[in-house]
Structure formats: structure tokens, C-alpha cells
Amino acid sequence: MSAGDQPTTSTTLTLAKALNAGLRAALAGDEKVLLYGEDIGSLGGVFRVTDRLQAEFGTDRVMDSPLAESGLIGTAIGMAMRGYRPVVELQFDGFVFPGFDQITQQLAKLRFRSHGRVALPVVVRFPYGGGIGSVENHSESVEAYFTHTPGLTVVSPATPNDAYWMIQQAIATPDPVIFLEPKRRYHEKGQLDLTAPARELHEAAVVRRGEDLTLIAWGPMVRTCLDAANAAEQEGRSIEVLDLRSLQPLDMPTILESVGRTSRAIVVHEAARNYGPGAEVAARLSEELFYVMESPVLRVTGYDTPYPPSAVERDWLPNLDRVLAAVDRSMAY
């Protein structure tokens, strides 16, 4: 797609280019939308998500920032208080921590602290997760830090179509959204329906129907779970795959409808297991479906270590074999 082109009804794009198209649509649709981040201007971002946007919308709206995440978030908070809708790009998941104080102590709290008077429509977007042969500090899954912080909405698209619509929905949200981009899926292609979003930002989606068990995932692990479900079908098992899309809030009606039908659930995420997002999903299911479950909610996750060197990340990350091994364990109850 060349610069300035907006497709009309449907097209096939990579997830990175779908985000680019979504950001372009948001910039074109509301002059208060600003992009701010490291190397997002002339370079177009490390993953080219903001490719050519500065050339199209100018240096006043697509701005390169200093290498200082705390100041980056703080500046966005100030801009939001003055009526802008800043979209902040952090280069990598590991780089969020210099800005962690601004996110958790200011961005998340100002609405509450001001008795509802100050809304901060800020989107903090960054690539997360591993699987691209990179190092620690560039491969982490940091969802739980933010889902545990009241005042933040936390979402993650898994497909180009969701990327295109969810980034626009996130920008339109009146309160802060942490927008997690599955970096290992940036170059996977998918069909975009450009007429309307399929669902609300907070809604989960059953992306594969099945009867025996529900795999619950988001972002990068949705593809892994779909592959595992397809492989399980060869073994005579009917596996449902639920893409949560939104981690905070959780779409409990959709989760309960699915697991209520299958009576078995496995949560799959790249983040380490201890106190991870899977624990929250498992706890909610055991509260709501105690008498429905055929087996305990299992978790397939990264190990409780720092992210390993890229040479061994394939053994560290949840993969098809580990998902299917958990399916076997669940079905054995």
C-alpha cells in the first residue's frame, strides 16, 4: 500500500501494516491524535509500524522523542490534559519500565484522583513477547504489571483485522489503554474487513469452535493455540480457541459461555506462570464454574526465569507440543 492510500472495503495486510493503516485512519480522523515515540518519525519505528506517517502528517503530529520513557509518558499525560489524544510508542516491552512510574502512578490514577474530572485518553502501545530471536529486555510479556493496576485498560490484538480496528478503538477510548502488540506476529498476514469492527474493544472472541476443551489465549499465543487445536483434531479431539483480546477488563460472559460448554480450560501465555494472567482467569473460572468443570484449569506459560538467550527461546516459550501435553493432562481427569 503506498503512502496516503486508504483501502476501501477489504484487503490483506500484515499485522504491522494493519496497525500502520489503523494509526493513519486515526490521525486522519481526528486532528487531536498525536504519535510520539523513539525513532517513529523518519525511521518509521523499529518494526515500521509508523512507516511514512510523519511524511504524511508532519513533524507536529508524528514526533520523535528523546530516549527517555518516563518523560515520554509524562509528556503524553500533559498533552492529554490539554485535549490531545497522544499515542505513545515504546520501542520494546522491556523499555516500559523507565516509564512504569508515570504509567502506574500518574496515568492510571488521575481520573480517580481528580474525582472523575480529568480523563486521560492516552494509548501506550508497544511490541511485546518473544519468538523473534532477540534478547531479554526485548522479548518479555509484561501484561500482568498493568492488568494489576486499576485504572488501565489492557488489550492485545492477535490478527491484522483486530490490530486495525482495536488501535482505533483504543485511541477513541476516553481513558488510558495499554496496547500490547504481538511482535512475533507483526509479519503474519490476514484479511481486513474495512467496513466496521467486528466487536467492541473489551470483547473476547471464539476464534475456533470446539466441544472438548477451551484454549484461552491472546496476542501471540492465539496462533499457537489454533495450530494446536488443528493438530488435536487429527487425534480426534475437538478444541475450542478463545481469543481474549482484552485482558482488562476480562469479557467474563464470553469466557463463561465457552468454558461452560466445554467444562475444561487451559490458559496459554508467554509470560511466566507465577502470579501471571492465567492465575486470574483460572481463579474466576473456579469461582463461577465450580460444579461444571471436569478438570482444574491448567496453565501453559513461560518458565519462572528471566527471558532466556534467543538460542533457547524455542524451548522456553509455550509451543504446540506443550499445549497438546496440557490438553492430554486435562482430558485425563
Strand partners, 88: 36, 124
Q: How far is the CB of 290 from another protein (least distance, A)?
A: 5
Q: In the set 2, 8, 9, 234, which binds another protein (CB under 8 A)?
A: 234
Binding segment (CB under 8 A) for another protein, from list 53-61, 149-157, 224-232, 269-277? 224-232
Q: Which of 1, 5, 42, 244 binds another protein (CB under 8 A)?
A: 42
Answer yes or no: are the C-beta atoms of 87 and 35 closer than 8 Å.
Answer: yes
Dihedral sign for Cα atoms in the order 164, 168, 169, 170: positive
Nearest to 214 by CA among 282, 165, 161: 282
Decide if residue 54 touches another protein (CB under 8 A).
no
263 contacts another protein (rule: CB under 8 A): yes
- With CA atoms as reference, report the closest residue to 95 among 126, 51, 56, 61: 126
Using CB under 8 A as the binding rule, the residues of this chain from 171 to 210 that contact another protein are: 184-185, 187
Name residue 13's amino acid.
L
Compare residues 104 and 295 and give the one whose CB is closer to another protein.
295
* Calpha distance 239→218 (Å, rounded): 16
The answer to the question of residue 113 lying near another protein (CB under 8 A) is no
Q: According to CB under 8 A, which one of 77, 120, 300, 324 is a site residue for another protein?
A: 324
Instruction: Check if 138 is active-site.
Output: yes
Contact 310, 134 (CB under 8 A): yes
**How far is it, in rounded angstroms, from Cα 107 to Cα 113?**
10
Cell digits of residue 222: 492465539
Query: Which residues lie near another protein (CB under 8 A)?
Result: 14, 39, 42-43, 46-48, 92, 131-135, 138, 184-185, 187, 223-224, 227, 230-231, 234-236, 263, 290-295, 310, 314, 319-321, 324, 328-329, 331-333
Residues annotated as part of the active site: 138
